[in-house]
Amino acid sequence: MMMGAGWAGPWLVMMVIPLLMVLAVLGFIAWSLGRGRSPRVGPDRPARPGDSREDPLAILQERYASGAIGREEFERRLEVLLGTEPGGVADSL
């Protein structure tokens, strides 16, 4: 038998496993930091279609424009959003 001329399996494994562990930890840290930087709705970042934080008025206008709701329903919901319906928030001020 030749000593030292064979497959260096144990040494290779002992070098690769710690390297993989370090890469996994660095990847997790990068992933964690990236989650905090998700796009937010604001003055410099408009809402994207399908975003749950989209402006309710814009959603209402889109539904009316697409024909999903009629004019009466649009006007009723618009009054609710703006607080101008009789007995609404604006009347109690």
Q: What are phi and psi of 45, to 5 degrees?
A: -130, 95
Considering the chain, what is the average pLDDT of its residues?
Answer: 75
- Label residue 1 by pLDDT band (50, 70, 90): very low
Say how far apart CA 12 and CA 34 lie, in whole Å.
Answer: 33
Q: Are residues 74 and 60 in contact, defined by beta-carbon separation less than 8 angstroms?
A: yes
Q: What is the reported pLDDT for 49?
A: 58
CB-based contacts of 67: which residues, under 8 Å, 6+ apart? none
Residue 15, both tokens: 């070098």
Give the tens place of pLDDT for each residue, 10-20: 777 788 888 99
- Residue ranges of alpha helices (H) inside the chain are 9-35, 56-66, 71-82
Q: Are residues 70 and 46 in contact, defined by beta-carbon separation less than 8 angstroms?
A: no
Say how far apart CA 12 and CA 9 lie, in whole Å.
Answer: 5
Q: Above 60 in pLDDT, residue 28?
A: yes
pTM equals: 0.36
